[in-house]
């Protein structure tokens, strides 16, 4: 039945923002072309509009977003459209399943010439298009009594990737927690994120951790708890227990990026001098 009237029905799996395409093999009169929506319906029920793209291809646009991860059908009333006794044509398709994940960078401490600024960046990624407004409304961030927290967003109104940056993080005299969370379970039952980030006391200047996403990366980042003196000479301040270690380095805010001049062993150890200085010297 499908091949008798239909040459193509688009993809079997579509985004909830995509149109539904049907391409007919046969000519349809102008009168019926103008009323094509009367011969089609979507199940489960969804209101829609239609637009012709050429002589034989019709595009169906649901008025409201379809539901993620659900089977749908477009049903063509062949009796009314083609004037015969054939059964309705049923074209099935599925909407994409939705999964949402969040990645979070390390705290970044920078110095703008007058004060230290502490921020943290991250990204929320989705397997299908969602509205940034929905993400913003679900996103929560708090830190004790800090009323200066602000979230800056980068991304289109609808998309699959939204970058964010939390500014106004405060360094208290004592340790504190920055709490970041969102609840998007109305879109994806597993899309609930909660993360507590430790914010060290203002008085502490310590080496925090080594960051290397994978061992064969071209450099490693040594992370500290405060913005560093970007003009200091690091010669002799970073060594290796394994012997001679030649490297280049750069200071970026509270991180020292170390670039070994040659490939190092997997069990390579870096020794950091206590004489490395923060921005206060």
What does the pLDDT read at residue 17?
84
Contact 229, 279 (CB under 8 A): yes
- The 10s digit of each residue's pLDDT in 177-224 is 999 999 999 888 889 999 999 998 888 788 876 665 544 567 888 999
Question: Could you give the CA distance from residue 106 to residue 253 in angstroms, rounded to a whole number?
Answer: 12
| C-alpha dist (Å) from residue 130 to 154, 179, 247 | 14, 24, 44
Distances (CA, A) of 91 to 3, 10, 38, 43, 59: 12, 10, 16, 10, 14
Does an H or E element contain 80, and which? helix 78-82
List, for residues 60-110, the tens digit of each pLDDT value: 999 998 888 899 999 999 999 998 888 899 999 999 889 999 999 999 999
Span 6-50, pLDDT tens digits: 887 666 889 888 899 999 999 999 999 999 999 999 999 999 999
**Average pLDDT score, the chain:** 89
The span from the CA of 100 to the CA of 92, in Å, is: 26
> Is 96:207 a contact under the CB 8 Å cutoff?
no
Q: What is the pTM of this model?
A: 0.74
């Amino acid at each position: 039945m499908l091949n008798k009237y239909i040459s193509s029905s688009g993809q079997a799996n579509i985004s909830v923002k995509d149109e539904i395409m049907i391409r007919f093999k046969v000519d349809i009169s102008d009168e019926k072309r103008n009323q094509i929506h009367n011969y089609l319906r979507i199940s489960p029920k969804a209101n829609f509009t239609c637009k012709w793209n050429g002589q034989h291809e019709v595009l169906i646009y649901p008025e409201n977003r379809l539901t993620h991860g659900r089977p749908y059908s477009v049903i063509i009333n062949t009796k009314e459209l083609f004037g015969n006794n054939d059964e309705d044509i049923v074209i099935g398709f599925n909407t994409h399943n939705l999964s949402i994940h969040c990645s979070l960078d390390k705290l970044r401490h920078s110095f703008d010439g007058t004060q230290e600024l502490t921020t943290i960046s991250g990204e929320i990624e989705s397997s299908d298009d969602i509205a940034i407004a929905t993400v913003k409304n679900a996103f929560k961030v708090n830190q004790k009594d800090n009323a200066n927290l602000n979230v800056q967003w980068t991304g289109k109104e609808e998309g699959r990737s939204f970058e964010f940056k939390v500014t106004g993080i405060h360094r208290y005299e004592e340790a504190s927690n920055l709490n970041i969370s969102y609840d998007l379970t109305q879109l994806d039952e597993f899309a609930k994120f909660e993360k507590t980030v430790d914010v060290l006391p203002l008085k502490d200047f310590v080496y925090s951790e080594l960051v290397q996403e994978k061992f064969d990366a071209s450099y490693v980042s040594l992370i500290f708890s405060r913005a560093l003196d970007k003009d200091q000479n690091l010669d002799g301040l970073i060594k290796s227990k394994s012997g001679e270690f030649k490297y280049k380095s750069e200071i970026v805010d509270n991180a020292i990026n170390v670039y070994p001049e040659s490939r190092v062993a997997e069990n390579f150890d870096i020794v950091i001098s206590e004489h490395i200085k923060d921005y206060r010297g």
